Amino acid sequence: MDSLALLTDLARVLAAAPPAEAVAEMRAVLTRAGFADGEAGPELPEPARATVTELLRVAEHRVAEHGELLRAKERARMLSEASFEGIMIHVDGSIIDANQPFADMLRCRPEEVLGPDTLRRCLAPEDLPDVLKRLRDRVEGAYVVTGVRMDGTRFRAEIQSKQGVYGERPVRVAAVRDVTERERIYDLIRESESQLRELAKTAFDLLTYSRDGVIVDFVGDVEAFFGTPRDQLIGRSIIGTVAPEYREQVGKHVQERRTGVFRSVLVSDHGEQIPVEIAAISTTLDGVPARLSGMRDMREAVRTENERRKLEQHLQQSQRLDSLGVLAGGIAHDFNNLLVGIIGSAELLALGDLRPDERECVESIAEAGQRAATLTAQLLAYAGRRDLGVREPVALNLVLNELQRLVGSSLSKRARVEVAIDEDAVVLGNRATLLQVLLNLLTNASDALGGEAGSITVSARRVGRPDDRFKHALGAEVSAAGKAWVLVEVRDTGAGMDEATRGRIFEPFFSTKAKGHGLGLAACLGIVSSHGGAIVVESALGRGSTFSVLLPAADSVSKKGHEPAPAKSPPGRILVVDDESVVRRQVRRILEVHGYEVQEASNGDAALALIERDPPALVLCDVTMPGMDGAEFVREMRARGSRVPIVLFSGYADFPLEQRLEPDAYAAFLAKPFTIDALMSTITKVLAR
């Protein structure tokens, strides 16, 4: 066979046949030339056989390369088609290749997206200038635009672009993702954030957004809340706004991302502590996770709570003092009835002929009885059940002048006493008991100095209305409605008192002094209450004390002339009405010694029956009796038309008699225990009218 012709045929087939078919056709040529199995036999010269073998090797290599290329293209196609994103390759905006997802995104075939006009057709007009600028400036990265499909509908697309090489050509590869649903969700999130803000604004005073413990945003009037401009707080650590003692607690909440409600204390740049209630939740801000803390300003709530506690403490103290007052009043009442017998019997014995030692014993009994009477008078004053008798205008400047003459030498020698009493500081009340109040307050102020140098300031002035301190005062309830007041204040620079001591100083028998029976301030409270006034105490350890007393004011001081001593009235019959037999017997003995005829009655009903049969010259009647008490007895007598003069006496009165009886319904009042002189002087005055 012609070797040259064979080689020529093989070369022609290698050049013209497709790579995948070249080997098979070349072997077919060899077979037709008489070579078995398509291989060159030994009959060919060596150079020709070597050339045939090389041509076959080249053909087989081309087949292998072609197969690898096909597989690479298939892999690229599969990767492109399987991508969730559309992929396109363009040169200066002219698309030269695109995958099926990109065509599906635009709702067309892949070949329809090729060409220079696709970008302009598939981008919203408002986004096109920015995209073209990115192409000119070769800007890489992600951005979001509005795409337009072939059917005119719009969608939101996120584009991730990058410069690359396609063969030898520089190209731009862009991955396109349909983010319409994501953007819709983001819009819903932003709407939800906005609604949450608006809702939280109505429930909280301030909203704080933070990330990793750093403040990123506020909602609300930050400056009104913190006293610091908003821009000075953004970017600061949220822990830095918390009071030092609460930072560990808040730090754990932030670090552990705890949610829920808790209380804490913030601190402003000016040092003001702000108690807050915080409700913390996990949320998003502009689609990014954040921590939202809703804050309620608890300053007003804390003030209200403190006010409520003070009211509760005041109520408890008032109830405790009222209970002690009932007890003290009851004891004093019964004790006064006994003292009537003790003092009266001692005075009757003293009228007789006695040996010196016997007279000394009788005088000791009378003296002890009088001291006991003073003690019960203080108990009754504390209980607020000591009848003040007829009230009159009392000028406090005159009372204080008298008091300074009496006790000036007994006050601390190192005390500087300053007095500022207005001339119009006139009180409607009882002079003797008001003197006792000022005496006790001055003595306590002097004792509070403890022998150290200091000052005592006494002031009194007329005021139009009580200040806010008297809303929680002890004593009677005071108001500004149609009433004038006198405010008396006694200040000292002494040791002061702690809260526990302040809460007990008005209790009977409580004293901070080594030699005190604890009835001085208790009596002051009762006397002030009986006058319709109130007391406020302000004190702190090391800062002294101030006792403020509010008393009803009077218009002017009365100017009564001196009453001449009444002439002695002739003896007559006197009716003694008292449920205590000890009192009745003692009064009977005293009256009979002075020449009076005496009748006794143990209650009001029995007394009325005696008066109906034979009216006496005068009636002595106890105020406090079981059944019909003294005031009811007087009203019943006057209702029946009886004009017999009545002298009332009592160990105490539940409240002033003028509140229960007309002023001319009874002739006089005697406080138990009374002396023989006081009893006989009162009877003589009444019978002489």
What band does 203 get if pLDDT is binned at 50, 70 and 90? Answer: low
State mean pLDDT over 485-498. Answer: 91
State mean pLDDT over 639-668. Answer: 79
- What percentage of residues in the chain have a pLDDT greater than 70? 80
pLDDT at 579 over 70: yes
DSSP letter for each residue of 560-629: PPPPPPPPPPPP-EEEEE-S-HHHHHHHHHHHHHTT-EEEEESSHHHHHHHHHHS--SEEEEES--SSS-
pLDDT at 478 over 60: yes
pLDDT of residue 267: 87
pLDDT at 43 over 70: no
pLDDT at 371 over 80: no
pLDDT of residue 567: 47
pLDDT at 104 over 70: yes
In whole numbers, what is the pLDDT of the chain averaged over residues? 80
Spell out the long-range contacts of 658-665 with Cβ–Cβ below 8 A and sequence spacing 24 or more.
658/390, 658/391, 660/631, 661/631, 661/634, 661/635, 665/634, 665/635, 665/638
Residue 523 CB burial class (10 angstroms; 0-12, 13-18, ≥19): buried
Q: How many CB atoms lie within 10 A of CB 595?
A: 9
pLDDT at 510 over 60: yes
Per-residue pLDDT tens digits for 107-166: 888 888 888 888 888 899 999 899 888 888 888 888 899 999 988 899 999 988 888 877
pLDDT of residue 71: 62
**Whats the size of the chain, residue-wise?**
689
pLDDT of residue 565: 46
pLDDT at 387 over 80: no
Worst-scoring range by mean pLDDT, 202-206, 302-306, 593-597? 202-206
pLDDT of residue 575: 95
pLDDT at 594 over 60: yes
Residue 169 β-bridge partners: 166
pLDDT of residue 221: 79
Q: Which domains does the chain have, with CATH numbers?
A: 3-80 (no CATH), 84-178 (3.30.450.20), 183-297 (3.30.450.20), 392-552 (3.30.565.10), 573-688 (3.40.50.2300)
Per-residue pLDDT tens digits for 396-441: 888 888 777 666 666 777 888 888 889 889 998 878 778 878 888 8
Worst-scoring range by mean pLDDT, 177-181, 198-202, 603-607? 198-202
> Has this prediction a pTM greater than 0.85?
no
Per-residue pLDDT tens digits for 526-576: 788 878 889 999 998 888 999 999 999 987 655 444 444 444 545 789 999
Backbone angles phi, psi at 102, to 5 degrees: -65, -45
Per-residue pLDDT tens digits for 50-81: 777 777 777 777 777 666 656 655 655 654 55
